[in-house]
Amino acid sequence: MLYKDFDDIQLQDIESLYSTLNREIRTVEYKRVLELDTNDQKKEFLADISSFANSSGGDIYFGIDELNGICGFEIDKIDGFILKIEQIIRDGIEPRIAYRIKDFNIFENKFLIFIRVNKSYNSPHQVKIFGWEKYFSRAENGKFKLDVYQLKHSFLNTNSAKLKINEFVIDRVSNVISDNTPIKLNSNPKIIFHAIPIPSFIDTSEFHILPDGRDFDKFRPLSSSGDYGKRINFDGLVTYSGNNSYLQIFRNGSLESVDVSIISPQNSTTGEKIIPVTLLEDKLIEGITTHLELINKFNADYPIALFLNIIGISGYSFGASNRWEIEKVILDRNHLKFEELIVETKNEPVVKILKPWFDRLWQAFNYEYSTNYFSETEWRGMGKIRT
Protein backbone atom coordinates (compact mmCIF):
# COMPACT_ATOMS: atom_id res chain seq x y z
CA MET A 1 0.00 0.00 0.00
CA LEU A 2 1.22 3.50 -0.79
CA TYR A 3 1.65 5.30 2.52
CA LYS A 4 1.23 8.71 0.97
CA ASP A 5 -1.51 11.33 0.97
CA PHE A 6 -4.03 10.35 -1.70
CA ASP A 7 -3.93 13.72 -3.46
CA ASP A 8 -0.15 13.51 -3.83
CA ILE A 9 -0.02 10.05 -5.44
CA GLN A 10 1.28 10.11 -9.01
CA LEU A 11 1.58 7.39 -11.66
CA GLN A 12 5.28 6.97 -10.92
CA ASP A 13 4.40 6.13 -7.31
CA ILE A 14 2.17 3.30 -8.54
CA GLU A 15 4.89 2.11 -10.91
CA SER A 16 7.33 2.06 -8.01
CA LEU A 17 4.86 0.11 -5.86
CA TYR A 18 4.39 -2.55 -8.54
CA SER A 19 8.16 -2.89 -9.04
CA THR A 20 8.50 -3.89 -5.36
CA LEU A 21 5.14 -5.64 -4.90
CA ASN A 22 3.71 -7.50 -7.88
CA ARG A 23 1.21 -9.65 -6.03
CA GLU A 24 -2.05 -9.27 -4.13
CA ILE A 25 -1.88 -8.75 -0.35
CA ARG A 26 -4.36 -7.77 2.35
CA THR A 27 -4.20 -4.03 1.55
CA VAL A 28 -3.37 -4.09 -2.18
CA GLU A 29 -5.11 -5.68 -5.15
CA TYR A 30 -4.38 -5.49 -8.89
CA LYS A 31 -7.02 -6.02 -11.56
CA ARG A 32 -6.40 -6.18 -15.29
CA VAL A 33 -9.68 -4.46 -16.15
CA LEU A 34 -12.87 -3.14 -14.55
CA GLU A 35 -16.05 -4.22 -16.29
CA LEU A 36 -19.42 -3.13 -14.90
CA ASP A 37 -21.85 -4.19 -17.61
CA THR A 38 -23.50 -7.27 -16.06
CA ASN A 39 -25.03 -7.86 -12.63
CA ASP A 40 -22.34 -10.45 -11.81
CA GLN A 41 -19.57 -7.98 -12.68
CA LYS A 42 -21.11 -5.36 -10.40
CA LYS A 43 -21.46 -7.90 -7.57
CA GLU A 44 -17.81 -8.91 -7.90
CA PHE A 45 -16.70 -5.27 -7.88
CA LEU A 46 -18.75 -4.46 -4.76
CA ALA A 47 -17.46 -7.57 -3.00
CA ASP A 48 -13.89 -6.37 -3.63
CA ILE A 49 -14.57 -2.81 -2.44
CA SER A 50 -16.54 -3.80 0.67
CA SER A 51 -13.90 -6.36 1.68
CA PHE A 52 -11.34 -3.57 2.09
CA ALA A 53 -13.73 -1.47 4.21
CA ASN A 54 -14.51 -4.46 6.44
CA SER A 55 -10.83 -5.24 7.08
CA SER A 56 -7.83 -2.88 7.13
CA GLY A 57 -8.71 -0.63 4.21
CA GLY A 58 -6.46 -0.52 1.18
CA ASP A 59 -5.85 0.26 -2.45
CA ILE A 60 -7.24 -1.44 -5.52
CA TYR A 61 -5.83 -0.77 -8.99
CA PHE A 62 -7.74 -1.48 -12.19
CA GLY A 63 -5.45 -1.52 -15.19
CA ILE A 64 -2.52 -3.45 -13.71
CA ASP A 65 -1.73 -7.02 -14.71
CA GLU A 66 0.01 -8.99 -11.94
CA LEU A 67 2.42 -10.54 -14.48
CA ASN A 68 3.00 -7.65 -16.87
CA GLY A 69 2.48 -4.52 -14.78
CA ILE A 70 0.65 -1.32 -15.76
CA CYS A 71 -1.29 -1.76 -18.97
CA GLY A 72 -4.46 0.30 -18.56
CA PHE A 73 -7.80 -0.57 -20.11
CA GLU A 74 -10.02 1.17 -22.61
CA ILE A 75 -12.61 3.69 -21.39
CA ASP A 76 -14.50 5.85 -23.89
CA LYS A 77 -15.69 8.57 -21.49
CA ILE A 78 -13.70 8.61 -18.26
CA ASP A 79 -15.89 11.14 -16.41
CA GLY A 80 -19.04 9.11 -17.08
CA PHE A 81 -17.27 5.90 -16.05
CA ILE A 82 -16.18 7.41 -12.72
CA LEU A 83 -19.76 8.56 -12.08
CA LYS A 84 -20.96 5.02 -12.81
CA ILE A 85 -18.47 3.59 -10.28
CA GLU A 86 -19.63 6.07 -7.61
CA GLN A 87 -23.31 5.28 -8.23
CA ILE A 88 -22.76 1.52 -8.01
CA ILE A 89 -20.86 1.88 -4.71
CA ARG A 90 -23.46 4.28 -3.33
CA ASP A 91 -26.41 2.05 -4.24
CA GLY A 92 -24.84 -1.33 -3.54
CA ILE A 93 -23.09 -1.12 -0.14
CA GLU A 94 -24.81 -0.51 3.21
CA PRO A 95 -23.96 1.40 5.30
CA ARG A 96 -22.02 3.68 3.00
CA ILE A 97 -18.24 3.53 2.99
CA ALA A 98 -15.49 6.15 2.66
CA TYR A 99 -13.31 5.93 -0.44
CA ARG A 100 -11.48 8.06 -3.02
CA ILE A 101 -11.08 7.54 -6.78
CA LYS A 102 -8.32 8.75 -9.08
CA ASP A 103 -7.73 8.02 -12.75
CA PHE A 104 -4.50 8.10 -14.77
CA ASN A 105 -4.39 8.36 -18.56
CA ILE A 106 -1.87 5.74 -19.68
CA PHE A 107 -2.15 6.11 -23.46
CA GLU A 108 -4.88 7.59 -25.67
CA ASN A 109 -8.13 6.13 -24.26
CA LYS A 110 -6.43 3.66 -21.92
CA PHE A 111 -6.71 4.44 -18.21
CA LEU A 112 -5.66 3.14 -14.81
CA ILE A 113 -8.33 3.49 -12.10
CA PHE A 114 -7.08 3.76 -8.52
CA ILE A 115 -9.55 3.40 -5.62
CA ARG A 116 -8.48 3.86 -2.02
CA VAL A 117 -10.95 2.42 0.48
CA ASN A 118 -10.75 3.58 4.10
CA LYS A 119 -10.81 1.08 6.93
CA SER A 120 -14.33 1.43 8.33
CA TYR A 121 -15.25 1.93 11.96
CA ASN A 122 -18.90 1.45 11.13
CA SER A 123 -18.56 -2.09 9.84
CA PRO A 124 -19.63 -4.60 8.77
CA HIS A 125 -20.72 -3.31 5.37
CA GLN A 126 -23.08 -5.43 3.31
CA VAL A 127 -23.20 -5.84 -0.45
CA LYS A 128 -26.89 -5.45 -1.13
CA ILE A 129 -27.77 -5.52 -4.79
CA PHE A 130 -29.88 -7.61 -7.18
CA GLY A 131 -31.17 -9.77 -4.32
CA TRP A 132 -27.62 -10.36 -3.06
CA GLU A 133 -27.00 -9.69 0.66
CA LYS A 134 -23.47 -10.72 1.58
CA TYR A 135 -20.55 -9.57 3.75
CA PHE A 136 -16.89 -9.83 2.75
CA SER A 137 -13.53 -9.19 4.37
CA ARG A 138 -9.90 -9.67 3.36
CA ALA A 139 -6.86 -11.72 4.31
CA GLU A 140 -3.37 -11.89 2.79
CA ASN A 141 -4.57 -14.04 -0.09
CA GLY A 142 -7.64 -11.97 -1.01
CA LYS A 143 -11.28 -11.55 -0.05
CA PHE A 144 -13.54 -14.08 1.68
CA LYS A 145 -17.17 -14.20 2.79
CA LEU A 146 -17.76 -13.57 6.49
CA ASP A 147 -19.37 -16.38 8.46
CA VAL A 148 -21.85 -15.90 11.33
CA TYR A 149 -19.14 -15.86 14.02
CA GLN A 150 -17.03 -13.31 12.13
CA LEU A 151 -20.09 -11.11 11.57
CA LYS A 152 -20.95 -11.15 15.27
CA HIS A 153 -17.36 -10.26 16.17
CA SER A 154 -17.38 -7.34 13.72
CA PHE A 155 -20.65 -5.95 15.11
CA LEU A 156 -19.35 -6.24 18.69
CA ASN A 157 -16.09 -4.41 17.88
CA THR A 158 -17.95 -1.54 16.25
CA ASN A 159 -20.43 -1.22 19.11
CA SER A 160 -17.60 -1.31 21.67
CA ALA A 161 -15.82 1.65 20.04
CA LYS A 162 -19.07 3.64 19.82
CA LEU A 163 -19.85 2.92 23.47
CA LYS A 164 -16.41 4.08 24.63
CA ILE A 165 -16.67 7.31 22.66
CA ASN A 166 -20.19 8.09 23.87
CA GLU A 167 -19.18 7.44 27.48
CA PHE A 168 -16.18 9.73 27.07
CA VAL A 169 -18.31 12.58 25.64
CA ILE A 170 -21.01 12.19 28.32
CA ASP A 171 -18.36 12.29 31.04
CA ARG A 172 -16.67 15.37 29.58
CA VAL A 173 -19.95 17.26 29.10
CA SER A 174 -20.91 16.42 32.70
CA ASN A 175 -17.60 17.87 33.87
CA VAL A 176 -18.24 21.10 31.96
CA ILE A 177 -21.76 21.40 33.38
CA SER A 178 -20.29 20.92 36.87
CA ASP A 179 -17.61 23.58 36.18
CA ASN A 180 -14.94 20.88 36.48
CA THR A 181 -12.91 22.34 33.62
CA PRO A 182 -9.20 22.99 33.04
CA ILE A 183 -9.93 26.74 32.92
CA LYS A 184 -12.43 28.56 35.14
CA LEU A 185 -15.10 29.93 32.81
CA ASN A 186 -17.61 32.75 33.09
CA SER A 187 -21.19 31.75 33.86
CA ASN A 188 -22.74 32.35 30.42
CA PRO A 189 -24.27 29.58 28.27
CA LYS A 190 -21.64 27.07 27.18
CA ILE A 191 -20.94 25.81 23.66
CA ILE A 192 -19.21 22.42 23.97
CA PHE A 193 -17.63 20.82 20.92
CA HIS A 194 -15.78 17.50 20.71
CA ALA A 195 -13.82 16.06 17.79
CA ILE A 196 -12.73 12.45 18.26
CA PRO A 197 -10.67 10.32 15.86
CA ILE A 198 -12.56 7.05 16.13
CA PRO A 199 -9.49 4.78 15.60
CA SER A 200 -7.83 6.31 18.67
CA PHE A 201 -10.48 4.63 20.86
CA ILE A 202 -9.67 1.26 19.32
CA ASP A 203 -5.88 1.16 19.14
CA THR A 204 -5.19 3.65 22.02
CA SER A 205 -2.87 5.79 19.89
CA GLU A 206 -0.98 8.74 21.37
CA PHE A 207 0.42 11.67 19.38
CA HIS A 208 2.97 14.41 19.80
CA ILE A 209 0.57 17.27 20.56
CA LEU A 210 2.92 20.12 21.51
CA PRO A 211 2.93 23.00 19.00
CA ASP A 212 5.91 24.30 17.10
CA GLY A 213 6.28 27.86 15.82
CA ARG A 214 4.71 27.27 12.42
CA ASP A 215 1.54 25.54 13.59
CA PHE A 216 0.80 27.41 16.79
CA ASP A 217 -2.16 29.28 15.31
CA LYS A 218 -4.01 25.97 14.84
CA PHE A 219 -4.09 25.59 18.64
CA ARG A 220 -6.34 28.65 19.03
CA PRO A 221 -9.52 28.29 21.18
CA LEU A 222 -12.89 28.48 19.43
CA SER A 223 -13.62 32.23 19.38
CA SER A 224 -10.23 33.66 20.32
CA SER A 225 -9.08 36.50 18.07
CA GLY A 226 -6.02 37.68 19.99
CA ASP A 227 -3.30 36.24 22.17
CA TYR A 228 -4.10 33.20 24.24
CA GLY A 229 -2.49 31.22 27.01
CA LYS A 230 -1.29 27.64 26.98
CA ARG A 231 -0.13 25.04 29.43
CA ILE A 232 0.57 21.32 29.60
CA ASN A 233 -1.81 19.42 31.87
CA PHE A 234 -2.60 15.83 32.87
CA ASP A 235 -4.77 15.19 29.79
CA GLY A 236 -2.39 16.79 27.30
CA LEU A 237 -2.32 20.48 26.39
CA VAL A 238 -4.84 23.27 27.02
CA THR A 239 -4.98 26.67 25.34
CA TYR A 240 -7.34 29.38 26.60
CA SER A 241 -8.58 32.91 26.06
CA GLY A 242 -9.15 34.43 29.50
CA ASN A 243 -12.28 33.03 31.14
CA ASN A 244 -14.15 32.88 27.83
CA SER A 245 -12.94 29.79 26.00
CA TYR A 246 -10.48 26.92 26.02
CA LEU A 247 -9.28 24.12 23.78
CA GLN A 248 -8.27 20.89 25.52
CA ILE A 249 -6.07 18.70 23.32
CA PHE A 250 -5.94 15.08 24.50
CA ARG A 251 -2.95 12.83 23.89
CA ASN A 252 -4.98 10.54 21.63
CA GLY A 253 -5.72 13.41 19.23
CA SER A 254 -9.23 14.17 20.53
CA LEU A 255 -10.27 17.79 21.07
CA GLU A 256 -12.64 19.49 23.50
CA SER A 257 -13.48 23.10 22.69
CA VAL A 258 -15.65 25.14 25.06
CA ASP A 259 -16.78 28.76 24.67
CA VAL A 260 -18.93 31.05 26.86
CA SER A 261 -18.50 34.34 24.96
CA ILE A 262 -20.59 33.74 21.82
CA ILE A 263 -23.95 33.36 23.61
CA SER A 264 -24.15 36.06 26.28
CA PRO A 265 -26.72 38.63 27.48
CA GLN A 266 -23.87 41.14 27.35
CA ASN A 267 -23.83 40.79 23.54
CA SER A 268 -27.34 42.27 23.34
CA THR A 269 -27.85 46.05 23.53
CA THR A 270 -31.05 45.47 25.52
CA GLY A 271 -29.69 42.72 27.75
CA GLU A 272 -32.12 40.21 26.23
CA LYS A 273 -31.31 36.54 26.20
CA ILE A 274 -30.68 36.04 22.50
CA ILE A 275 -28.75 33.36 20.64
CA PRO A 276 -26.89 35.18 17.82
CA VAL A 277 -27.42 32.34 15.37
CA THR A 278 -25.44 33.72 12.42
CA LEU A 279 -22.49 34.66 14.63
CA LEU A 280 -22.62 31.20 16.22
CA GLU A 281 -22.58 29.48 12.82
CA ASP A 282 -19.72 31.67 11.63
CA LYS A 283 -17.59 30.97 14.71
CA LEU A 284 -18.27 27.23 14.55
CA ILE A 285 -17.35 26.99 10.85
CA GLU A 286 -14.16 28.95 11.41
CA GLY A 287 -13.19 27.25 14.66
CA ILE A 288 -13.99 23.67 13.65
CA THR A 289 -12.09 24.13 10.38
CA THR A 290 -9.03 25.06 12.42
CA HIS A 291 -9.63 22.23 14.91
CA LEU A 292 -9.77 19.62 12.13
CA GLU A 293 -6.58 21.05 10.62
CA LEU A 294 -4.99 20.49 14.01
CA ILE A 295 -6.08 16.85 14.06
CA ASN A 296 -4.61 16.48 10.56
CA LYS A 297 -1.33 17.85 11.91
CA PHE A 298 -1.23 14.92 14.34
CA ASN A 299 -1.73 12.52 11.39
CA ALA A 300 -4.63 10.92 13.26
CA ASP A 301 -6.63 8.39 11.28
CA TYR A 302 -10.15 9.10 10.04
CA PRO A 303 -13.10 8.91 10.47
CA ILE A 304 -13.63 11.60 13.09
CA ALA A 305 -16.78 11.85 15.21
CA LEU A 306 -18.08 15.36 15.98
CA PHE A 307 -20.31 16.24 18.93
CA LEU A 308 -22.00 19.53 19.84
CA ASN A 309 -23.81 20.45 23.04
CA ILE A 310 -25.13 23.89 24.03
CA ILE A 311 -25.82 24.28 27.75
CA GLY A 312 -27.61 26.93 29.83
CA ILE A 313 -29.95 28.39 27.21
CA SER A 314 -33.39 28.05 28.80
CA GLY A 315 -35.28 31.30 28.21
CA TYR A 316 -33.19 32.33 25.21
CA SER A 317 -34.75 33.37 21.90
CA PHE A 318 -33.65 33.51 18.27
CA GLY A 319 -31.40 36.30 17.05
CA ALA A 320 -30.60 36.79 13.35
CA SER A 321 -31.03 40.41 12.33
CA ASN A 322 -31.11 39.62 8.60
CA ARG A 323 -34.07 37.19 8.94
CA TRP A 324 -37.76 37.67 9.49
CA GLU A 325 -39.20 36.33 12.72
CA ILE A 326 -41.95 33.82 12.03
CA GLU A 327 -43.01 33.62 15.66
CA LYS A 328 -41.00 34.45 18.73
CA VAL A 329 -39.98 31.18 20.37
CA ILE A 330 -38.46 31.05 23.84
CA LEU A 331 -36.47 27.90 24.47
CA ASP A 332 -38.05 25.73 27.14
CA ARG A 333 -35.00 23.54 27.65
CA ASN A 334 -31.59 24.15 29.06
CA HIS A 335 -29.59 21.73 26.94
CA LEU A 336 -29.47 21.25 23.18
CA LYS A 337 -27.72 18.00 22.29
CA PHE A 338 -27.05 17.70 18.57
CA GLU A 339 -26.72 14.51 16.56
CA GLU A 340 -23.28 13.00 16.11
CA LEU A 341 -21.65 13.82 12.77
CA ILE A 342 -19.00 11.66 11.09
CA VAL A 343 -16.19 13.12 8.98
CA GLU A 344 -14.99 10.29 6.75
CA THR A 345 -12.02 12.02 5.05
CA LYS A 346 -9.99 15.16 5.59
CA ASN A 347 -11.15 16.67 2.30
CA GLU A 348 -14.81 17.10 3.25
CA PRO A 349 -15.88 20.78 3.37
CA VAL A 350 -16.70 21.87 6.93
CA VAL A 351 -19.57 24.06 5.69
CA LYS A 352 -21.31 20.98 4.30
CA ILE A 353 -20.50 18.82 7.33
CA LEU A 354 -22.06 21.25 9.82
CA LYS A 355 -25.28 22.03 7.92
CA PRO A 356 -27.38 19.38 9.77
CA TRP A 357 -26.46 21.03 13.09
CA PHE A 358 -27.36 24.50 11.89
CA ASP A 359 -30.66 23.35 10.35
CA ARG A 360 -31.55 21.66 13.64
CA LEU A 361 -30.76 24.85 15.59
CA TRP A 362 -33.03 26.94 13.36
CA GLN A 363 -35.75 24.31 13.67
CA ALA A 364 -35.67 24.79 17.44
CA PHE A 365 -37.01 28.29 16.72
CA ASN A 366 -39.72 27.29 14.22
CA TYR A 367 -37.65 27.75 11.04
CA GLU A 368 -37.40 24.96 8.48
CA TYR A 369 -33.63 25.27 7.96
CA SER A 370 -30.70 27.68 8.21
CA THR A 371 -31.29 30.36 5.60
CA ASN A 372 -27.62 31.34 5.70
CA TYR A 373 -26.98 28.51 3.22
CA PHE A 374 -27.18 29.30 -0.48
CA SER A 375 -26.22 25.73 -1.35
CA GLU A 376 -25.02 22.69 0.59
CA THR A 377 -21.45 23.95 0.33
CA GLU A 378 -21.89 27.75 0.43
CA TRP A 379 -22.67 29.69 3.62
CA ARG A 380 -23.17 33.46 3.69
CA GLY A 381 -23.33 35.62 6.79
CA MET A 382 -21.52 38.29 8.78
CA GLY A 383 -20.47 39.80 5.44
CA LYS A 384 -18.57 36.60 4.57
CA ILE A 385 -18.87 33.75 2.12
CA ARG A 386 -17.65 30.38 3.42
CA THR A 387 -17.34 27.28 1.24
- For 63-76, the pLDDT digits (tens) are 999 888 999 999 99
Element (H, E) at 62: strand 58-62
Q: Are 241 and 258 in contact (CB under 8 A)?
A: no
Give residue 322's pLDDT.
47
pLDDT single digits (tens) 289-317: 999 998 988 888 888 999 999 999 999 98
Q: How confident is residue 149, by pLDDT bands cut at 50, 70 and 90?
A: confident
Determine the pLDDT at residue 43.
Answer: 96
CB distance 284 to 276 below 8 Å:
no
Calculate mean pLDDT across residues 164-183.
Answer: 94
Q: What is the mean pLDDT of residues 51-67?
A: 92
What is the rounded (10 degree) CA torsion for 120, 123, 127, 128? -130
pLDDT for 204: 67
Question: Mean pLDDT across the stretch 68-95?
Answer: 95
Query: pLDDT tens-digit profile of 107-122?
Result: 999 999 999 998 887 8
Measure the CA–CA gap between 100 and 102, rounded to whole angstroms: 7
Average model confidence (pLDDT) for the chain? Answer: 88
- Say yes or no to pLDDT of 217 above 80: no
**Report for 196-205, 304-313, 376-385: range of highest mean pLDDT:** 304-313
Q: Where in the chain is the domain with CATH 3.30.950.30?
A: 6-146
pLDDT over 80 at 157, yes or no: no
The Cα-based distances of 181 to 111, 178, 262, 292 in angstroms read: 55, 8, 18, 22
CATH number at 6-146: 3.30.950.30
pLDDT of residue 264: 81
Cis peptide before 276 (omega within 30 of 0): no
Predicted pLDDT at 318: 84
Strands 317-319, 274-276: pairing is parallel
* Among candidate residues 246, 251, 264, the one with its CA nearest the CA of residue 210: 251
Cα(373)–Cα(359) distance, rounded to whole angstroms? 10
Average pLDDT over residues 274-279: 91
The pLDDT of residue 320: 66
Residue 88 has what pLDDT?
Answer: 96
The residue-averaged pLDDT of 213-224 equals: 71
